[in-house]
Every structure is written in structure tokens, then in C-alpha cells.
Amino acid sequence: MPERESRLPEPTMDAQELYREEVITDRKVGTIRVLYPVKPDGGADAGRETLYVGEAQMYTTMGTLPLSFEIEAKSLAEAVAGYAPAAKEAVERTVRELEEYRRQAASSIVIPRGGAGGMGPGGLPGGGKIQMP
């Protein structure tokens, strides 16, 4: 295992892309994470924009799915006002992605057991058992 561990990339933080995080919530609908850019010494970095990241949950038959999405805003007030449209877009994008995953799974190539030769039980080639890749 030491060989495998030596090939794994070293997780290093980018000292030029540091942010201090503050969590804002209404305790009803969602959460906004405000990311303030900071310098490596912890002081404010006025040369970069503050980021606003919304968080929500989408309920599915498999349980809750956490959603995270950027909110285009210049202030917390703008981020609060932009939360709903950004959350709606994140839900719509997630639904499209889930539908695409389902479509891909449904159109996966089915390979009969035993290869392409001979008839198996039930009159199906290759043993009659369907295997999903």
C-alpha cells in the first residue's frame, strides 16, 4: 500500500484563494453562506469579491438531496432577494441531471451472460440472464 499512497496527490490549500465564512439563515427556508476573501495573514482582501452561496434541500424518493448554488449579488440584501430564483434554477438543473442519469442508465448496453454464442435457458442467447453494466 505504501506505493499507492505515494501516488495520491497531496491535498494542499491555495493560500491566494482563502475565504472566511459566515452562515446566514432565516431558520425556515434556507441558508446563505457569505464567503469573505482574506489574505494568508487573515486580513481582508479587498481585491476580490465577496461570494454568496445558497443552500437548500430537495426531497426525493431516495431521501433528501443537498443543493448548493452561487447567488449573483453584491450585498447580503441582494443575495437574500436572489435566493429564491437561484434555488429554483438549482432545483431545475438537478432535476434535468437526474433525468439524464436515468436516461443513461436505461439505455446502457445489455450484455448477455456467456457472450454472443448459443441459445440458453428460456430460448435467450447466452443463458437468458440480463446483466446491467
Q: What is the pLDDT of residues 62-86, one digit of tens each?
A: 889 999 999 999 999 999 999 999 9
**For position 117, what pLDDT does the model report?**
53
pTM of the model: 0.70
**For position 102, what pLDDT does the model report?**
87
Classify residue 133: in a domain, yes or no: no
Q: What is the pLDDT of residues 88-98, one digit of tens each?
A: 999 999 999 98
* Number of Cβ atoms within 10 Å of the Cβ of 54: 24
Classify residue 115: in a domain, yes or no: no
Quote the CA–CA distance of 38 and 103 in Å, as a whole number: 43
The average confidence (pLDDT) of the chain is: 85
Tell me if residue 64 falls in helix, strand or coil: strand
95-111: string of b/e by CB count within 10 Å (b at 16+)?
A: eeeeeeeeeeeeeeeee
For residue 8, what are the β-bridge partners? none
Q: What is the pLDDT of residues 110-127, one digit of tens each?
A: 666 655 555 555 555 555
Q: In percent, how much of the chain has pLDDT > 70?
A: 77
Classify residue 55: in a domain, yes or no: yes
pLDDT band at residue 133 under the 50/70/90 scheme: low
Classify residue 36: in a domain, yes or no: yes
How many structural domains are present in the chain?
Answer: 1
Classify residue 113: in a domain, yes or no: no
Classify residue 1: in a domain, yes or no: no
Classify residue 126: in a domain, yes or no: no
Task: Assess contact for 79 and 89: CB atoms under 8 A.
Answer: no
Which of the residue ranges 16-20, 98-102, 122-126 has the most confident prediction, judged by mean pLDDT?
16-20
Give the residue numbers spanning the domain of 43.
12-107
- Whether the pLDDT of residue 41 is over 80: the answer is yes
Classify residue 100: in a domain, yes or no: yes
Quote the CA–CA distance of 41 and 119 in Å, as a whole number: 72
